[in-house]
Structure 1
Amino acid sequence: MDIVKRKAQSSKLKTKNHSSKLKIKERGEQLRAR
């Protein structure tokens, strides 16, 4: 049970980090376009 929960948490963190990185990338591109 604990292992499953840990795996779910790690996958959630991974997706969170990925989305935040994408947002930062988009912001950087927008600043460059200006």
Structure 2
Amino acid sequence: MRFNHFNLSPLVPLLAPCTRLFSLLFLLIYIYIAPR
């Protein structure tokens, strides 16, 4: 568990914008598909 956390720690700053972009993309797709 500790090893896993240590391994992911440096990737957090890179992952944060990625997840935000992914959520934004998902929202865009949802809005595009929802009316149909």
- Structure 1 residue 2: deviation in Å? 2.8
Tell me which residue corresponds to 1:10.
19
- Between Structure 1 and Structure 2, how many residues are aligned? 27
Q: Pick the structure with more helix per residue.
A: 1
RMSD, matched Cα: 1.3
Amino acid at match of 1:11: R
5 Å-filtered alignment, 1:14-29, equals: 14-26=23-35, 28=36
Which consecutive aligned stretches of 4+ in structure 1 deviate over 2 angstroms post-superposition?
A: none
